[in-house]
Amino acid sequence: MKTKKSALGRGLSAILESPDTDITSSDISGNYVAGAIANIPVEKIETNPFQPRNRFEEKALLELALSIKEQGIIQPVTVRKLGYDKYQLISGERRFRAAKIAGLDAVPAFIRVANDQQMLEMALIENIHREDLNSLDVAISYQRLLDECDLTKEMLSKRVGKDRSTIVNYIRLLRLPAPVQVALRDNQISMGHARALINVENEEEQIFILEEAVKKQLSVREVERLVKDLSGKRKVKPKKQKYELPDKFREIRDELTSRFETKIDIKRNTKGRGNIVIPFKSDDDLQRIINILYK
């Protein structure tokens, strides 16, 4: 009996089985075509090192795991092929983690080809469109897309389908002091609260208003009013301590005042530096003082 030859040529088969290839094909060994959706064993998928979201709430994961046990994974995860029979998550890490908790041996996955920069860009953009993502994570994702994917704000606007002004408003959140960013990250305040605080120039005042907002559970409008009240108050500059001229210089000042018949002022600081001010009322008065000086 003749052994059936493989439908693949030796050259193509070697490419498909190479650990370095980014091409996949459907064959009897269980590999899959790039662009297809297939059930891939979980042990053959590694997590995305470019995942911008590094906090997953345990309770929510357990709830999702229970749902997956009952109904399975409705929306496939997205992976890229790393090499022969190896894959890496592009998006869907929360579903992937929950599937592992649920004890699934394989997950449905959409397979595509991507380089590292494309991986980062896709992960960040997918992350931005999550409904449960807080404003700070969105802001960080926008900034990373600008910095690490070499995008302009106009290009980014087209990629994510958001107005340029919306992107700018998110990125401005990253200028807030750390305590405000932490409160935003932990959902103690909303983006509306944070945007009101951006208009406060003084960092100490920003933190004071933050603490008031959290402690008293102030609404966005209440925080805006508080910001307006603080900015409306004139800051009183502390009065400089008046320096008293030593007695001997006061005597000299009085003698000069008498001699020039005009009120002489001597200004002197604690280091001994200063000046003598001789006022005059007119050109004739100035000439009169000059004549006295040259006598």
- What Å distances lie between residue 97 and 85, 87, 100, CA to CA? 20, 15, 5
Return the SS3 of 187.
Answer: coil
The band of 4, judged by pLDDT with boundaries at 50, 70 and 90, is: very low
Q: The tokens 């996955």 sit on which residue?
A: 109
pLDDT for the residue 233: 62
Closest CA to 52 of 176, 111, 136: 136
Element (H, E) at 277: strand 274-277
Mean local confidence (pLDDT), 44-55: 72
CA dist., res. 93 & res. 54, Å (int): 10
pLDDT for the residue 131: 57
CA dist., res. 169 & res. 193, Å (int): 13
pLDDT for the residue 114: 64
Give the pLDDT confidence of 106-151 residue by residue, as tens digits. 999 888 766 666 666 776 777 676 656 778 888 888 887 787 677 7
CA dist., res. 97 & res. 89, Å (int): 11
Mean local confidence (pLDDT), 34-46: 81
Out of 3.40.50.10440, 2.40.10.220, 3.90.1530.30, 3.40.1180.10, the CATH code matching 10-114 is: 3.90.1530.30
Most confident of 76-90, 190-204, 219-233, 271-285: 190-204
Q: Catalytic residue at 204?
A: no
- Does residue 247 or residue 94 have the better pLDDT? 94
- What Å distances lie between residue 221 and 134, 176, 193, CA to CA? 20, 19, 8
Domain residue extents for the chain:
10-114, 177-235, 247-293
Is the Cβ–Cβ distance between 7 and 70 less than 8 Å?
no
Mean local confidence (pLDDT), 170-199: 89
Task: Find the catalytic residue in 17, 43, 46, 93.
Answer: 93
pLDDT at 221 over 90: yes
pTM of the model: 0.46
